[in-house]
Amino acid sequence: MTNTLHRFGDADSFRDDYVIFAIPARSNNPENTLPALRRFLEIAIEYKPVNLGDARNGGALRPSRSLSPLNHWWRDSSLNYQAVLDGLTHPTTCSAVFDNPTAAEDFLKRIKEEDLGLSVNISTSIDGAEQCCNHACIPRHSVGYSLGFEGETEKLPNSQVLMLSTMCGHGMISHSLAKKMIDFVKEGRRTPKEAASVLTRFCSCGVFNPVRAARIIEDARTKTT
């Protein structure tokens, strides 16, 4: 689906947001792609992604089914890459999120060299993706443009909330929760990083960018839209 396509923001707001994902085409013998998908994730880890995931099992920061009450004070919000690797048992879309162009460009170049045979897409600003392709000496094959949001847009929240909630195109991060986390930071009840971690856990495929989220929340602490 179009899960990472319609992130809200102008091109500059994607300066720390590069989602690169690998996908086996349904019509193309996907059963045999599991080793390639695993290799894709293993290579991604070398380039220090800020999130990693597969569309079936989630990202590198997940909710817990049996949380201890002590976690309200000492909660582990570190990224668990190994859980993503271990969970990959069926061919599915695998993604890595980077917060800087250098990592994204180098990763794409490496993926090209590895020749995994998977369809690989870069979801970011149009210029950012083109630079990644240029760095890897790849002419773009196809482009899917986002035309943004139309219709009864008065039903949408302010731009800061929208930038957060649309980082999950599946809609698993509600506008209300995004607003609540901004308010928590404004009140001094959470740090931007802690607030971003809360939102990250709701993303069911690992494409949420906690670094961009923390930056947006930090901006929202002092600026109104």
Partner 1 sequence: MKINPSKCVACGNCTYVCPMGAIYIDPVIHRATINDDACVECYACFNGLSQEHLPPTVVRTIRKVLAFLRIRFDPEPDVCPTAAFEPNELTWPRVVRRAFSDPRVPHESTGVEGRGTEEVKTNDVTGRVKLGEVGFTIEFGRPGVGVRFREIQEACWALAQAGVTFEKKNPITSLMKDVSTGTLREDILGEKVMSAIVEVKAAATRTEEIIRLVWDVEKRIHTVVSIGVGVRCDADGEDTIVAPILERLGYKLERAKTNAGLGRVATATIAPKHDLVQA
Nearer to partner 1, 36 or 211 (CB): 36
* Least CB distance to partner 1 at residue 223 (A): 20
Looking at residues 150 to 169 of the shown chain, list those that interact with partner 1 (rule: CB under 8 A).
Answer: 150-153, 155-157, 162, 165-166, 169
Query: Can residue 35 be called a binding residue for partner 1 (CB under 8 A)?
Result: no
Among residues 24, 49, 192, 210, the one that binds partner 1 under rule CB under 8 A: 24
Q: Is 186 in the site for partner 1 (CB under 8 A)?
A: no
Contacting residue, 41, 99, 105, 121, with partner 1 by CB under 8 A: 121
Burial state string for 160-188 with b = 16 or more CB within 10 A and e = fewer than 16: bbbbbbbbbbeebbebebbbbbbebbeee
Determine how β-strand 18-23 pairs with β-strand 51-54: unpaired
Task: Return d(Cα 46, Cα 17) in angstroms, integer.
Answer: 18
Instruction: Report the residue from 68, 78, 222, 224 that binds partner 1 according to the rule CB under 8 A.
Output: 68
Contact positions with partner 1 (CB under 8 A) in 123-152: 123-126, 129-130, 132-133, 136, 138-152
Measured CA to CA, the distance from residue 146 to residue 126 in angstroms comes to 10
Token pair, residue 30, equals 């996907």
Binding-site size, partner 1 (CB under 8 A): 102
Q: Which residues contact 66 (CB under 8 A, 6 or more apart)?
A: none
